[in-house]
Amino acid sequence: MLVLVAPGQGAQKPGFLTPWLDLPGVSERLTWWSAVSGLDLIHYGTKADEEEIRDTAVAQPLLVAAGLVAAHALFGEGGEGATGLAELPNRIGAVAGHSVGEITAAVASGVLTDEAAMVLVRRRGLAMAEAASRSETGMAAILGGERDDVVAHLDKHGLTPANVNGAGQIVAAGTAEQLAALAEDKPEGVRRVVPLKVAGAFHTDHMAPAVAALEALVAGVPVADPRTRYVSNRDGGVVATGAGVIERLVAQVSNPVRWDLCMETFQELGVTGLIEVAPGGTLTGIAKRALPGVTNVALKTPDDLATARALIEEHAVPVDTPAEEELREA
């Protein structure tokens, strides 16, 4: 069984969209999504420097657009449905995204249209940037240590394990003072505490204002139920309804990302292959350590599409959308 995953913030690099513009229809699609989101995605994906695309309000729409470009290129146009990804549920057994990548996954599963996703992610990025500006907060990667020991140590300092990624990766988030204290008092077995170049403490209570802003928006967003399994960052659960997906997308802004539990669900579902949409590399890197024996393909440029299509032919089986009683929605 194949899983399609989408990366989160930090995966972007200057110029990473440039090779994708050589594919038919990509420039036109990005121009349309730029109009929808109010952001020049072609400029930011091809000409902007590292500092410009680090901006949360820019990075989030850019990442979702890149993931959708790659998904459309992989599965092609045509068929029923507004997303043009009608063939995906027949080939992919589950989808998931890391943090903002969950919005990409929502389109891939048929919950959101491309346009709704671009409106939602632009508002998400702006709201999170605004929330981050209210106080000096940040995030730091913790290298080494045992998960339970690290989490207990973070709690002592008032920090949140904002990303629990599996394969020994935990990201702490909190105030600048709390992170400075952590750097001076590392958990047992931890080699390094590495500050991350992000605007604030994402996936913590510091993002509560962004949650309120998104709750005011999503009541009118048109949604459909997932056409393939949608695995949530909240707890690795498979979500049965479009309304459930949207509720979790909003709440997840101020709650930790449990990518470790998503990978546990992949294993329970019998994953044999994993494809990461553009800008691929981060999640396949984690999977290589946490999911031994699973074949991975990262879509970094269009040159990777042939390898991904070969993986689909080898591992994909037709997947019926599971009945609701079979889903593990919390």
DSSP codes joined into one string, 84-115: S-TTGGGT-SEEEESTTHHHHHHHHTTSS-HH
- Catalytic residue list contains 254: no
Selection from 282, 283, 269, 247 nearest residue 319 by Cα: 269
Q: Return the exposure string of 143-171: e unless at least 16 CB atoms fall within 10 Å of the residue's CB, then b.
A: eebeeeebbebbeebebbbbbbbbebbbb
Q: Which two tokens stand for residue 270?
A: 């019998």
- Clarify whether 206 is annotated catalytic: no
Contact 52, 58 (CB under 8 A): yes
What is the sign of the dihedral through the CA atoms of 64, 246, 120 and 209? Answer: negative
DSSP 230: E
CB atoms within 10 A of CB 258: 22
Crossing angle of helices 114-132 and 26-37, rounded to 10° = 50
Residues 6 or more apart whose CB falls under 8 angstroms from that of 261 comprise: 164, 235, 236
Distance in angstroms (rounded) separating the CA atoms of residues 291 and 294: 6
Residue carrying the six token digits 């207990």: 152
Choice among 34, 99, 109, 232 that is catalytic:
99
**C-beta separation of 164 from 260 below 8 A:** yes
Residues 271 and 2: beta-carbon distance below 8 Å: yes
Kindly name the residue from 72, 98, 157, 203 that is annotated as catalytic. 203
Under DSSP, the state recorded for 20 is G
The set of catalytic residues is: 99, 203
